[in-house]
């Protein structure tokens, strides 16, 4: 069964406020696409543009592929859409690990976003700190500020790792809420590499945050995040800290990822 007909098959169940459980990863991608199209239409109608930050990793691949398909891509005003990234690995855009590269293959190569509206995080620069400063200037030039002085994206797509990280905000990475920076370049100990990422205050400045999460390996972290269970040593997981100050947060997940949430 293809993704589009899968999406029509069973409506998602709201297992918790803001936590929508779909039968399969394909159905979750379909629900995320439906919500993105709806939000995009509201934003373009209200402000003439749609400022969207894309998630990295593998889970969003199915979503981007769906958005690139004829049924879906015709519903989006790509000419008035700007694309940003929530985080990026320190690799060239054509490297297999590049979040930009994955989005380009699955989405950008199939839709007509003006190239000046595609704002790649240039995390392959030798001076990552300088690249982060340049990205902050791009955000400043294009986005309104929220009441806390942080750039306000219309929609931020996020994934979540099995350890509860999101974007490139990892457990043990210091106090993500305590920064005034908009873009940071944390050393990710467990990966032994730096990343470039939007900071928590920028994620929390968004009008809409949508977590797309699939797979049984995420079930324990999702339970901890949704129920805000503190970790040993205190504090909740980074994904749990994403709670927009003046915006909406939803989780669109498959049944496997939701398997630890009480029915
Ligand atoms: C990244 C992502 C990261 C991702 C999670 C989940 O650059 O890796 O931004 O936060 O969303 O690691 O990745 P999967 O979707 O591949 O499980």
CA 251 to CA 239: how far, in whole Å?
11
CA 217 to CA 77: how far, in whole Å?
35
Q: What pLDDT sits at residue 3?
A: 56
Q: Which of 159, 171, 222, 241 to mutate to test the pocket of ligand 1 (most atoms within 8 A of CB)?
A: 159
Contact 137, 122 (CB under 8 A): no
Phi, psi dihedrals of residue 64, rounded to the nearest 5° = -65, -40
Q: Render each residue's pLDDT in the chain as its tens digit; 263 residues.
A: 565 555 455 789 999 999 999 999 999 999 999 999 999 999 999 999 999 999 999 999 999 999 999 999 999 999 999 999 999 999 999 999 999 999 999 999 999 999 999 999 999 999 999 999 999 999 999 999 999 999 999 999 999 999 999 999 999 988 899 999 999 999 999 999 999 999 999 999 999 999 999 999 999 999 999 998 888 877 899 999 999 999 999 999 999 999 999 87
Token pair recorded at residue 27 = 């159905």
List the one residue out of 234, 156, 140 whose CA is nearest residue 200.
156
Q: Which of 84, 123, 161, 252 to mutate to test the pocket of ligand 1 (most atoms within 8 A of CB)?
A: 161
Q: What pLDDT sits at residue 182?
A: 98
- Where helices occur in 144-218 by DSSP H, the ranges are 200-203
How remote is the CA of residue 155 from the centroid of ligand 1, in Å? Answer: 17
Q: What share of the chain is helix, strand, coil (3-state, %, to 5)?
A: 35, 20, 45
Residue with tokens 């350890």: 163
Q: What pLDDT sits at residue 174?
A: 83
Residue 156 CB less than 6 A away from ligand 1: no
Token pair recorded at residue 178 = 């305590």
| CB proximity list for 197: less than 8 A, separation 6 or greater | 86, 87, 88, 167, 168, 169, 183, 184, 185, 186
User: Helix, strand or coil for residue 141?
Assistant: helix
Q: What pLDDT sits at residue 130?
A: 98
Q: What pLDDT sits at residue 5?
A: 59
How remote is the CA of residue 140 from the centroid of ligand 1, in Å? Answer: 25
Q: What pLDDT sits at residue 2?
A: 63
Q: Which of 25, 32, 55 to mutate to test the pocket of ligand 1 (most atoms within 8 A of CB)?
A: 55
Q: What pLDDT sits at residue 248?
A: 98
Residue 122 CB less than 6 A away from ligand 1: no
Contact 136, 103 (CB under 8 A): no
List the one residue out of 4, 5, 1, 6 whose CA is nearest residue 254.
6
Residue 99 CB less than 6 A away from ligand 1: yes
How remote is the CA of residue 47 from the centroid of ligand 1, in Å? Answer: 30
Residue with tokens 């769906």: 66
């Amino acid at each position: 069964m293809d993704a589009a007909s899968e999406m029509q098959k069973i409506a998602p169940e709201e297992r918790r406020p803001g936590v929508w459980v779909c039968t399969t990863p394909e159905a979750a991608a379909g629900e995320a696409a439906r919500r993105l199209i709806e939000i995009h239409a509201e934003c373009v109608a209200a402000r003439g543009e749609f400022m969207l930050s894309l998630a990295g990793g593998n889970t969003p691949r199915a979503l981007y592929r769906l958005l690139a398909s004829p049924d879906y891509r015709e519903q989006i005003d790509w000419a008035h859409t700007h694309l940003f990234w929530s985080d990026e690995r320190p690799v060239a855009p054509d490297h297999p690990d590049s979040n930009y590269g994955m989005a380009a293959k699955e989405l950008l190569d199939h839709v007509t976003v003006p190239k000046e509206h595609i704002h790649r995080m240039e995390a392959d620069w030798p001076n990552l700190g300088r690249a982060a400063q340049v990205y902050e200037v791009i955000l400043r030039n294009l986005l309104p500020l929220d009441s806390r002085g942080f750039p306000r994206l219309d929609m931020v797509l996020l994934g979540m790792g099995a350890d509860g990280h999101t974007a490139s905000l990892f457990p043990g990475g210091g106090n993500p809420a305590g920064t005034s920076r908009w873009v940071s370049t944390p050393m990710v100990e467990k990966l032994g590499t730096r990343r470039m990422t939007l900071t928590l205050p920028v994620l929390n400045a968004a009008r809409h945050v949508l977590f797309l999460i699939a797979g049984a390996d995420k079930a324990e972290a999702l339970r901890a995040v949704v129920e805000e269970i503190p970790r040993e040593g205190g504090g909740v997981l980074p994904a749990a800290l994403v709670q927009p100050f003046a915006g909406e947060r939803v989780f669109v997940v498959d049944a496997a990822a939701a398997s630890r949430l009480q029915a």
